[in-house]
Structure 1
Amino acid sequence: MTNIQIAIDPAESDALLQTVREQISLQTFNPNDSELLKKMVECMGDSRGMMRLNFAETLGSIGKPATPFLVEALAHHPNPVVRRASAKTLTLIGDPVALPALLEAFLHDDDTVVHGSAAAALAQLGEPSVPHLLEVLASPQHSENTKGHAAWALAFIGSKAKKYLYREIASDSVEVRAAVLGAIAKIAQEEPEEAAFNLLVNALTDAAETVRIEAASALANAAYKPAIPNLVELLHHGSWESRKAAALALMKIGTSEDPPEFSVLLEPLETALVNESEAQVRRVIQLAISQIKKQSEADDWE
């Protein structure tokens, strides 16, 4: 898409915004006035950031009647500033009708801000976006940056996408499993439920190292004590990166606000240290032992 900056008359923008706001206030605004809505969208190319924000918020308050005009601008407007503002305004409105245009902008617009804003709007739409985001993650055609935005959107959607996430944790795609796991971790933190934690624990034995490490980190962040035996088992994995992740997770759980009995952690860590040959993992295990002992001594004084 060719990016062209189109000059907007500031005085005209100011007058239009004032008129529309007055009409909204007096409840005389006509949401079927297509010419007026088009002009408002066009004015989001104003050089003044605050004016663009004012138009976006006003269009957002108008809601779904503005969607077709924002979709058209997002898809075809030559000014990237208008496309960016249109995507951000669609985020405010949250109309599922905009999904195809948002997905197209997310995947193909050459402006990075439009790309990110479209991802945010897809996240705001929630469950309807999830199958498309999963397709993006599973496809080898998309860049790591695009997949990163898709994974973020899934995590943002969180529990609203639960039925997809719990199913796709068994996906053949490592990238899908890793992204889904991040979203499940968010669910586990925001509304702790056994099903989410069970999936995180099971992921400690995933065939992919990135998934195992993500699972260990998520369980550590949640300080989920029932996962300790599984993390101890991971301390003896053939991959040193997985062993390191397990040691870090045990350290975090052991220094949390409500730690378990310290012997439950110290004994397996000390045993693992004796058997560990990888220098990086040894340093992490030593640090974990040290930090957990400090926590234990501090608790003894309370």
Structure 2
Amino acid sequence: MTNPPSSLTSTEPVTLSENEAKQLAEELKQQLRQGQRLDGDTQAIERMVAGLGDKRGLLRLTFAESLGAVGSAAVPALCRAMCEHENVTVRRAAAKTLTLISDRSALPFLFRALLNDPDPVVQGSAVGAMAVVGADAVEGLLEILLDPKNTPMQTGLASWGLAFVGARAPEALKQAACSPHARIRTAAIAALGDQIQNLGDQDARRLLTDALNDGDEEVRAEASTLMGKLNESHWALPLLLPKLNDESPLVRKNTALSLMKLEDPSAIQALEMQSETEPDDTVKPILRLAINQLHQHD
């Protein structure tokens, strides 16, 4: 990922009175309804961006939709507002509006917002805008996972972003699932669900199967969790049952939960046997819960 730019070209800030914002919103709304092409010159865009700070939510929505209709021409102004505006409402709205446009040129600024903005809504909206860009965002999201200076919030959002990208970047995710870094493998495995369930990707299925025996417990735990989400008991059950004896309590816990989600009563016997010998007090109630739930499907 290229380093995010340190600054954006500044322009004279535009402000709108409440009446000006209302009038402009009405004009834009009418143009949108009539399918008219919106004016995309610099002054018009700056006026719409200024409207993103309005206290009235419906007006902000109109300005966001209008900027989305303008498209890529609005990206520089939106990036500047997202990264530099003092009003958090404007920063939030700008990030959300970039999601509507899905322009890869915004990626460096979206990463900057994620890493530097103190507001969690701005961070989350920035990741949402990255995710809709697709494959071009994957490398940067993976780098965020690896940097120990990033907060749990930032790395969690990056993982969510990868999961949202899903089938839009199949090759990038499959490559990440083979990364030497366990944190990246974990995030990539979590994002393979769409490829397996909706695209029938056999390579992704194989990667998930291999991840059940990964050397890192977090990867095995994530693979166990995904197995329970795919609703393929005939395939998942033989692979999951041995994980009830995994050395990691986290893996055993996730396995029990996945077996419960699969709703296959044939797992009851193995769960009962594990419950009798389970050494970890945090896993025992999960095993009992799974057994009780599966008896309802017996």
Distance of aligned partners of 1:240 and 1:100 in 2 relative to their CA distance in 1, 3 Å threshold: closer
SS at match of 2:80: helix
Residue in 1 aligned with 2:142?
Answer: 134
Residue in 1 aligned with 2:241?
Answer: 232
Distance 1:293 1:37 in 2: 61
Matches within 5 A, 1:1-302: 8-21=16-29, 25=34, 27=36, 29-31=38-40, 33-225=41-233, 226-253=235-262, 255=263, 259=264, 262-263=265-266, 265-296=267-298
SS at match of 1:164: helix
**Contact 2:38-2:66 at 8 Å conserved across structures:** no
Q: CA deviation at 1:149?
A: 0.7
Superposed CA offset, 1:7-51 (max 9, x none): 7411111222334455664847442x2112111111211121211
SS at match of 2:203: helix
Aligned alpha-carbon RMSD (Å): 2.6
Task: Answer with 1 or 2: which has the greater Rg.
Answer: 1
Q: CA deviation at 1:133?
A: 0.3
Q: Which runs of 5+ in 1 are unaligned?
A: 297-302
Matched residues, number: 285
**Contact 1:251-1:288 at 8 Å conserved across structures:** yes
Amino acid at match of 2:294: I
Distance of aligned partners of 1:283 and 1:142 in 2 relative to their CA distance in 1, 3 Å threshold: closer
Q: Which runs of 5+ in 2 are unaligned?
A: 1-6, 8-13
Superposed CA offset, 1:87-128 (max 9, x none): 111111111111111111111122222212111111111111
**Contact 1:126-1:157 at 8 Å conserved across structures:** yes
Identity, in percent, stands at: 37
SS at match of 1:218: helix
Identify, as 1 or 2, the structure richer in helix: 1
Q: Which moved more, 1:229-238 or 1:81-90?
A: 229-238
Residue in 2 aligned with 1:300?
Answer: none
**Contact 1:7-1:46 at 8 Å conserved across structures:** no
Q: Which moved more, 1:18-27 or 1:39-48?
A: 18-27
Amino acid at match of 2:107: L
TM-score by length of 1: 0.84
Distance of aligned partners of 1:243 and 1:88 in 2 relative to their CA distance in 1, 3 Å threshold: closer
Distance of aligned partners of 1:293 and 1:88 in 2 relative to their CA distance in 1, 3 Å threshold: closer
**Contact 1:44-1:82 at 8 Å conserved across structures:** yes
**Contact 1:201-1:227 at 8 Å conserved across structures:** no
Q: Which moved more, 1:142-151 or 1:163-172?
A: 163-172
Q: Which moved more, 1:148-157 or 1:217-226?
A: 217-226
Amino acid at match of 2:259: L
Distance 1:237 1:290 in 2: 22
Distance 1:208 1:161 in 2: 24
SS at match of 1:18: helix
SS at match of 2:139: helix
Distance 2:145 2:179 in 1: 11
SS at match of 1:171: coil
Distance 2:111 2:288 in 1: 48
**Contact 2:28-2:62 at 8 Å conserved across structures:** no
Q: Which moved more, 1:279-288 or 1:89-98?
A: 279-288
Q: Any runs of at least 4 consecutive aligned residues in structure 1 with deviations exceeding 6 A, and if so which?
A: none
Distance 1:20 1:241 in 2: 53
